[in-house]
């Protein structure tokens, strides 16, 4: 049974120009703490009506909910992040945030939704790694009234088991291909440490072992720009054969990174592949605006490897 939306028709195409390094985040409460998510992932915010229990599901999944004739899992973020859960009779004001990424819909239980904020990349910082476990936070946003952690929903769903973590690496790579690919340096950037590790592992399994990863676009740009300062311009092409970048990242997003690369005379012709969890016509149009070489949707690592091989003539 469909439900009326509390925040319906979220405009995910407000920021039409690519490479502005601006985005919008939806801020919400989990318990007494505020978190955020990129508006581009948000489809609806709804009250929680009927929840159907699912046997043998993860204990952080409340069950299934029906939204506009589509059945989706409902993840309890309070229980996932803190291991606690307020009894149903005490959380009647809870809402669900319906997100779409990695080609699927997933609902997340939150305490309440605050509002949407427009932010600049200058207002974001990479999240520190505070332990050995995979962090559920990709970046930190600075608002006037405090810091807002942006949750890594791709990693959260992967840990729970709601999306595939199969690397789908290329099988039976010929020895000659491995030798050639090992000499091709690839730079990649992704603010999710889990996704970054999977990008590394899938490329490495296909024979691309000369890899250098970064946690955001700014860190990647600093490295690339430093290489262009060498006396010999050919030095850059010897150091970077291809760049793979996420779109959503703190400080400098992937679209802005690509735009800067294309404007630099030394690195302008280097292949740049956008690897994003948000497969939308808006993102595709923005990728074309900044002249990305190719675009691949997460979590299709096999397609990513095939695309890298294609743009490198492998």
Tell which of 99, 130, 160 closes a domain.
160
Through-space distance between the first and last CA atoms of the chain, rounded to whole angstroms? 50
Asked whether residue 152 falls in the same domain as residue 269, the answer is no
CA R_g for the chain? 20
Label residue 167 by pLDDT band (50, 70, 90). very low
132 and 232 both lie in a single domain: no
Assess whether pLDDT exceeds 80 at residue 13.
no
Percent of the residues in the chain that have a pLDDT greater than 90, as a whole number: 63
CA atoms of 137 and 128, how far apart (whole Å):
9
pLDDT at 1: 35
Evaluate the CA torsion angle 307, 258, 227, 301 in order and state its sign: negative
Q: How many domains does the chain have?
A: 2
Mean pLDDT across 56-72: 91
Q: Does 121 reside within a domain?
A: yes
Compute the mean pLDDT over every residue in the chain, rounded to the nearest whole number.
86
From residue 313, give the alpha-carbon distance in Å to each of 155, 191, 287: 32, 28, 22
CA distance 132 to 150: 19
Residue 171 CB: number of other CB atoms within 10 A?
A: 8
Domain harbouring 213, CATH code = 3.40.50.2300
Short-list 14, 22, 26, CA closest to 120? 22
| pTM, to two decimals | 0.85
Give the position of tokens 């994003």. 276
Rounded to 5 degrees, φ, ψ at 268 are -60, -30
Contacts of 206 (CB under 8 A, 6+ apart): 169, 170, 173, 181, 305, 308, 309
Higher-pLDDT residue of 132 and 281 is 281
* Distance, CA of 107 to CA of 125 (rounded, Å): 26
Task: pLDDT band for 85, please (50, 70, 90 cuts).
Answer: low
Q: Where residue 142 falls among pLDDT bands split at 50, 70, 90?
A: very high
What residues contact residue 33 under an 8 Å CB cut-off, 6+ apart? none
- Domain-ending residue, one of 126, 160, 194: 160
Same domain membership, residue 112 and residue 74? yes
Q: Specify if 12 maps to a domain.
A: no
Which of 130, 160, 190 finishes a domain? 160
Same domain, 227 and 284: yes
C-alpha 129 chain-centroid distance: 17
* Residue 10 forms part of a structural domain: no
111-129 per-residue burial string, b: 16 or more CB within 10 A, e: under 16: bebeebbebebebbbbbee
Statement to judge: residues 196 and 288 lie in one domain: yes
| Residue range(s) defining the domain that contains residue 221 | 175-311
Sign of CA dihedral 124, 99, 284, 312: positive
The span from the CA of 201 to the CA of 34, in Å, is 33
Quick check: bond before 183 cis, omega within 30? no
Assess whether 108 and 225 both reside in one domain: no
User: Does residue 51 register a pLDDT over 50?
Assistant: yes
């Amino acid at each position: 049974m469909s439900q009326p939306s509390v925040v319906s028709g979220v405009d995910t195409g407000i920021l039409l120009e690519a490479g502005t390094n601006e985005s919008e985040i939806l801020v919400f409460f989990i318990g007494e703490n505020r978190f955020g998510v990129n508006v581009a992932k948000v489809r609806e915010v709804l009250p929680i009506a009927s929840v159907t229990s699912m046997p043998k599901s993860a204990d952080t999944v409340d069950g299934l909910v029906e939204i506009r004739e589509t059945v989706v899992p409902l993840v309890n973020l309070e229980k996932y992040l803190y291991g606690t859960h307020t009894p149903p009779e005490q959380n009647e004001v809870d809402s669900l945030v319906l997100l779409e990424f990695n080609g699927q819909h997933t609902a997340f239980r939150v305490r309440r939704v605050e509002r949407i904020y427009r932010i600049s990349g200058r207002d974001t910082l990479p999240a520190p790694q505070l332990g050995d476990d995979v962090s559920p936070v990709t970046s930190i946003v600075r608002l006037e009234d405090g810091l807002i952690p942006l949750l890594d929903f791709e990693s959260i769903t992967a840990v729970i088991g709601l999306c595939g973590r199969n690397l789908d690496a290329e099988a039976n790579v010929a020895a000659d291909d491995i030798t050639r690919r090992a000499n091709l340096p690839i730079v990649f950037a992704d603010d999710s440490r889990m996704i970054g590790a999977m990008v590394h592992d899938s490329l490495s399994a296909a024979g691309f072992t000369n890899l250098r990863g970064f946690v955001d676009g700014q860190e990647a740009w600093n490295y690339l720009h430093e290489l262009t300062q060498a006396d010999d311009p050919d030095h850059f092409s010897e150091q970077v054969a291809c760049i793979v970048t996420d779109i959503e990242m703190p400080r400098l997003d992937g679209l802005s990174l690509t735009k800067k690369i294309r404007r630099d005379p030394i690195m302008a012709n280097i292949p740049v592949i956008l690897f994003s969890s948000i497969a939308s016509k808006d993102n595709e149009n923005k990728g074309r605006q900044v002249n990305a070489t190719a675009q691949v949707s997460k979590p299709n690592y096999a397609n990513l490897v095939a695309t890298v091989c294609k743009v490198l003539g492998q």
